[in-house]
Chains A and B, each alone.
Chain A
Amino acid sequence: MQDTDHLGRPIIVVTGVGLITSLGQGTDANWRALTAGKSGIHRITRFPVDGMRTTMAGTVDFIPVAVPSAPAMSERLAELVIEEAVTQAAIGQPGDFPGPLFLALPPVEMEWPQRLALAAESGARDTVTYDDLLRAAGSGDHHAYYERFLFASVGENLASRFGTRGTPIATSTACASGGTAIQLGVEAIRRGETESALVVGTDASVNPESLIRFSLLSALSTRNDSPETASRPFAKDRDGFIMSEGAGALVLESLTHARARGATILGVIEGCGEAADGFHRTRSSPDGKPIIACMRNALDDAGLTPDDVGYINAHGTSTPENDKMEWVGVSAVFGARASSIPISSNKSMIGHTLTAAGAIEAIFTLLTVRHGLLPPTINYDTPDPAVPVDCVPNVARAAVVSHAISNSFGFGGQNVCVVIGAAPGRS
């Protein structure tokens, strides 16, 4: 195999991955649970759920964080998956990663515990206003809050700890963020700016307000009685997604660089595609054009045709809207094969890891290709005649896959698809 692709660009390979989801910590543990069809969704115990419409989530409750907040927990998950990925890749030296960091990160803002602490410090009694918070902010030492809730803090801390090069790029394209981070890394290597890049998507933002924000958009499942069966992508009785946490890290390298240092190649990032949708803030164009363009752009970038693709890792959120629109897109791109190409949703088991989803699911896609085993879509009891997909219902299936697509579609009309291929020498 040569070192350049169909357009003469460096081929980009993955040499290390790391994963945390509600299914557990570590790539092996996650892959075992995912292919066994286990669900990581459970009733929320992190905070009171009284009065909530949705009382379940795929929180990661087994990683302790001293002073919890969404950025602090997202940073901790990112640290752990980066350590796993860098260790597997055996690249650089501890604290000295030889490339830039691309980070998919949830938006950051001060949270209720800090707001309430300032309010208490202000001494205001009956009515607390932002004037009181402002007064309290300037007395006492709040530097730790200030730093924690800078958008740059997570990337800065990770860059310091892992010694990545240059400024860390923290990106948000909502639920497509992980895919965007991969694409940024791929492009940087293709430009010849670097031979390697560290990509991480992380999200640990399940807190009362964020859960309620999604609830108010009617985006979440309310099948609270049975959390493990609530996420049911492509099923007729799907009713929303499950908010979840997790992180995924990938070490990307040019094939030349990976070969030269004798690294084990886990798979190839063959192409990326993106397309924005100007139709609506939360809904896709009814004609599916942006989703279709996004998949086609990714295939063009990879130099492949739809016939080359053996598996689709769906965005598959389990909302009525997404899964229908994803089918519209897949049926347009894959034509007669649309109903027979396997397309499964990891979110049936891990829920929607939001900012991290694109990275986590790209890693699962890579493992699917690598191990020749398609993870199932669980909770698929009631097929939706309007969405006639082969979603690998309920049980994992062995299959040789040479090329797969991982789809990510976000609020704000931001869509990214990543094409992942088998490691050279196996096709």
Chain B
Amino acid sequence: MPHDRDALITGVGLVSCLGEGLDAHWDALNAFSPVLDTTSFPGFPVHPMTALALDRQIPKRGDQRQMEAWQRIGTYAAGAALDSAGVKGDADLLSRMHMIVAAGGGERDYAVDSALLSALPKAENPGAYLNEHLLSDLRPTLFLAQLSNLLAGNISLVHGVVGSSRTFMGEESAGADAVRIACARIAAGQGDLFLVGGSYNAQRPDVLVHFEMGRLLWKQDFAGVWQRQEAGGGLLLGSLGCFLVIESRAHAAARGAAPLARIASVATDRCRRDAGVATAVARRQMAALDGTYDAAGAAVISGASGAAAATVEERAFLDTLGLPVRAGATALGHSLEPAFPASVALAAMALARGTLFPPLEPAETPMTAPLRDVLVTGWGHWRGEALAHLTAE
């Protein structure tokens, strides 16, 4: 039964290697061919960001200069989401719009780092040398491009979203909890209109170093998320920006906004990933959905990252559901913080079209029945298990 406090998705801004916007993503997923950058970081392929006409969403060049790539991607996607929801520039609505951003940290100055790493071991007084050169060589405003909460800050500044601003950190879980808490606040009357999402820049050496330290990167020829598991699994990181406009049904109806889909529920949890425990978490989350959807019109958009242990366990769990599955990271790459919002966006896209896109790799099965329900999983590559249920409107 429709309820005034249902959480509806009324806008999506999505940019990735597949292009910009849901139509571009729909087309690319219906004729899937991987988009990879194999040359910027030899031996470490990543899914690159599509070329963005930044001026369209970040009109002031000064703003663009003050940001690093992760912020530009996110601020761009946020603007696209506001456009898509028809709230861009509406000062009254934006002054009441609550923002929850899932963010990591920003880029470093790689030239400064490299120069310091080269010189410090030879410096007579390394401490003094470090101080002197950080003081003289770092761009003063770089800090503001690095702080996690400054993606949200830039969205307030560029797009005027000022109802409130919160930033969650913690890789995949941050994105899932951002969606969960927005929906919970709508259900409880703690807000009507939300902007939720995040961004990720995979084309930066420091994040590759980080995941390489964890021995998590896929360095072989392209393979889908499931197929990679036959050769030890691994992440192909992807640059991505995704924001969702989520609002209460009553609020959307009052302003005549057309919903793409309804977020019926979001559950998140964590465990220490001892064998089988993540599966037990997911089973509990599934049990809560019993009787809320018809399997004949249901599919799964999986957030599986490709990381071996989590992906293998999630796959085994998904096999017990008997539903068609699509792993979005096969096409978009794995994007950590915005990965869950992006999976929700793909689900909303498919529900709005009433049909699921074709399999992205042999392990996925076609679906011809009309799509009515999508289950979105979000198992973090390290921690965190999330499950959302979206329904067609």
Task: Please name the residue on chain B nearest to A210 by beta carbon.
Answer: B143
Give Cα distance in the complex from A349 to B66, angstroms. Answer: 34
Interchain CB contact under 8 A, B213 and A143: yes
Question: For residue A147, which residues in chain B have a CB less than 8 angstroms away from its CB?
Answer: 214, 382
Question: For residue A278, which residues in chain B have a CB less than 8 angstroms away from its CB?
Answer: 156-157, 159-162
Q: Could you say which of B105, B166, B205, B383 contacts A130, with CB atoms under 8 Å apart?
A: B205
Interchain CB contact under 8 A, A172 and B144: no
Given contacts A126-B118, A276-B156, A414-B152, contact A152 B383 (CB under 8 A): yes
Q: How far is the CB of B2 from chain A (nearest CB, A)?
A: 21
Interchain CB contact under 8 A, B146 and A134: no
1/0 contact string of B109-130 vs chain A (CB within 8 Å): 0100110011011000101101
Question: For residue A63, which residues in chain B have a CB less than 8 angstroms away from its CB?
Answer: none
Interchain CB contact under 8 A, A159 and B270: yes
Interchain CB contact under 8 A, A152 and B382: yes
Asked if B323 lies at the interface with its beta carbon under 8 angstroms from chain A, I say no
Interchain CB contact under 8 A, B114 and A128: yes
Count of A interface residues, CB-CB < 8 Å: 82
Interchain CB contact under 8 A, A52 and B169: no
Q: Could you say which of A48, A129, A142, A171 contacts B166, with CB atoms under 8 Å apart?
A: A171
1/0 contact string of A357-390 vs chain B (CB within 8 Å): 0000000000000000000000000000000000
Give Cα distance in the complex from A143 to B150, angstroms. Answer: 29
Question: For residue B99, which residues in chain A have a CB less than 8 angstroms away from its CB?
Answer: 276
Question: For residue A49, which residues in chain B have a CB less than 8 angstroms away from its CB?
Answer: 131
Count of B interface residues, CB-CB < 8 Å: 82
> Which of A47, A137, A143, A187 has most chain B Cβ within 10 Å?
A137
Give Cα distance in the complex from A411 to B146, angstroms. Answer: 12
Task: Please name the residue on chain A nearest to B146 by beta carbon.
Answer: A107
Give Cα distance in the complex from A112 to B127, angstroms. Answer: 11
Interchain CB contact under 8 A, A130 and B114: yes
From B18-26, B81-89, B132-140, B351-359, the one touching the partner chain is B132-140
> Which of A53, A169, A190, A412 has most chain B Cβ within 10 Å?
A412
Question: For residue B205, which residues in chain A have a CB less than 8 angstroms away from its CB?
Answer: 130-131, 133-134
Interchain CB contact under 8 A, B162 and A276: yes
Question: For residue A160, which residues in chain B have a CB less than 8 angstroms away from its CB?
Answer: 272
Interchain CB contact under 8 A, A413 and B171: no
1/0 contact string of B206-234 vs chain A (CB within 8 Å): 10111111111000000000000000000
1/0 contact string of B151-191 vs chain A (CB within 8 Å): 01110110111111111111101101100010011011010
Question: For residue B160, which residues in chain A have a CB less than 8 angstroms away from its CB?
Answer: 278
Interchain CB contact under 8 A, B185 and A187: yes
Residues A159-193 near B (CB distance < 8 A) = 159-160, 166-174, 177, 180, 184, 187, 190-193
Asked if B147 lies at the interface with its beta carbon under 8 angstroms from chain A, I say yes
1/0 contact string of A39-78 vs chain B (CB within 8 Å): 0000000011111110000000000000000000000000
Question: Please, could you name 14 A-B residue pairs with CB atoms under 8 Å apart, sorted by A?
Answer: A107-B104, A109-B206, A130-B110, A143-B214, A146-B213, A160-B272, A166-B270, A168-B170, A174-B149, A190-B188, A192-B188, A274-B165, A275-B164, A411-B153
Going nearest first, the 4 A-B pairs with the smallest beta carbon separation are: A412-B153, A48-B127, A146-B214, A130-B205
Other A-B contacts than A129-B114, A137-B210, A412-B147, 6 sampled, CB-CB below 8 A, are A152-B383, A173-B152, A190-B190, A191-B188, A208-B130, A281-B154
